[in-house]
Amino acid sequence: MTMTEQKNLLGAPPARPLIAPSILSADFGRLVEDCRDVLDAGADLLHVDVMDGHFVPNLSMGPAVCGSLRRHFPEVYLDVHLMVEDPGMFLEPFVKAGADHISFHVEVVDDPIGMAERIRELGASPGLALNPETPVDAVLPHLESFDLALVMSVHPGYSGQAFIPEVLDKVRVIRERFGDAIRIEADGGVSPETAPICRDAGYDVLVSGSSVFGSSDRAGDIEAIRGRG
Ligand code: DX5
Ligand code: ZN
């Protein structure tokens, strides 16, 4: 994959669903080895979950971890998911640390389109996230300015929660409205069992934490989540 193709990873409809392991479920004591292993097993990009202990009741990682990943994996697409109350504070530090894509939550931002423009000016791709209880109408007026809609399929904060199927209605509405012009990312509870309904509803980027990192057959698990065709 060339650098240009890689930088545009979320900018064009993928031929097949992209698989994005969430490093939140990696063994932090051997993060690089664990990430290399899932990439060798077929993952397309890495999903970096950032939590501030305010927007969600958990803490995870900051730009330094993103910077380490960038140094160890110069060509891997890094998809940063900001679960923080003040995402504007973290755009520049994460892009400087090597983020290719940054998603932030609609629930905490007054001017999502302005924030998307800032992300593009910094040289990254913008994504707009919404929680399971947030109506799709909260994002529809803004999505034209984004490369990706992150439709949370669990309540954000922790890996290993059960998939919430009710969110699929929002995915269908976004896919119907925007067609191939936008990527739609599933995040939470995605496994070989839940992936088929995700793909059918229109998700085309599938984040998976505990299922992929916890698997004894990561390559098989990734291919099962991706599905055939
Ligand atoms: C949830 C995070 C997810 C999570 C996914 O707050 O945004 O990325 O790590 O983990 P699983 O796949 O285990 O639900
Ligand atoms: Zn996430």
Tell me the CB-side half-sphere exposure of residue 79, using CA atoms within 13 A: 32
Atom of ligand 1 nearest to the CA of 47: 8
Query: Tens-of-pLDDT digits for all 229 residues of the chain?
Result: 555 556 689 988 999 999 999 999 999 999 999 999 999 999 999 999 999 999 999 999 999 999 999 999 999 999 999 999 999 999 999 999 999 999 999 999 999 999 999 999 999 999 999 999 999 999 999 999 999 999 999 999 999 999 999 999 999 999 999 999 999 999 999 999 999 999 999 999 999 999 999 999 999 999 999 998 5
Catalytic residues: 49, 187
Give me the residues near ligand 2 (ion), CB cutoff below 5 Å: 49, 81, 187
Instruction: Kindly report the pTM of this predicted structure.
Output: 0.97
Cα distances (angstroms) measured from residue 30 to each of 25, 48, 118? 12, 16, 34
Atom of ligand 1 nearest to the CA of 189: 14
- What is the per-residue pLDDT for 228? 82
Q: Domain count of the chain?
A: 1
Q: What is the CATH number of the domain that holds 101?
A: 3.20.20.70
Task: Give how far the C-alpha of residue 200 lies from the chain's centroid of Cα atoms, to the nearest Å.
Answer: 18
Domain extent, residue 22, equals 3-226
